[in-house]
Amino acid sequence: METREGADSIRRRLRRERAALSDACLREHSRSICEHARRCLRWLRPGTLAGYFGIRGEIDLTPLLIQQARAGVRIAMPVLDRHRTGRMHFRSWHPGEALCRNAFAIPEPCPAARRIWRREITAVLVPLVAFDAQGHRIGMGGGYYDRYFARRRLGQSRRPRLIGVAHDFQQVAGIAAQPWDVRLDGVITESGWQFFSAD
């Protein structure tokens, strides 16, 4: 589905809206989303869950990740690849472990942490700037998640469930999909969670 507003315009607009959220609103949305995610993950039963550390208005998933780790789920977090520009991979993280800062000042596991390979990840909580009802996503613009989870590299049957995490207002009427885009399997907002058709 095409949208009159281009991806760059949507990205700028929604990043401004997200950054303008009050601390109280962000805390409440984060609390609700973590609760919805707990119920969703009870159904998905991931052995290894990939998350992220939220910045600049993104949902704070830390309480959820701590709870999942205590329940025996292995946690993987994204790390910028220091040797390949525009690439990322995942490393293990345990609550309380020291973190390093990447080139964007985002916390990530330090290089000594164990690398987690694609085939090991069951479900991924994916940050985003916008999403639509078909599971298309606009990210920050770097293409990291699309490259990492590209179907041609994994095969659809081996790809983990990709679950977007967003505020309700980040849903848009439609996003013009590009050939390299990897669709979300579902999304969680403060209102609840939904899965998208594979069609």
The whole-angstrom separation of Cα 81 and Cα 142 is 13
* pLDDT band of 181, cuts 50, 70, 90: confident
Structure tokens at 11: 């990205």
Is the pLDDT confidence value at 2 over 70? no
Provide the mean pLDDT of the chain. 89
pLDDT at 3: 47
More confident residue, 71 or 197: 71
Mean pLDDT value across residues 130-143: 89
* pLDDT band of 151, cuts 50, 70, 90: low
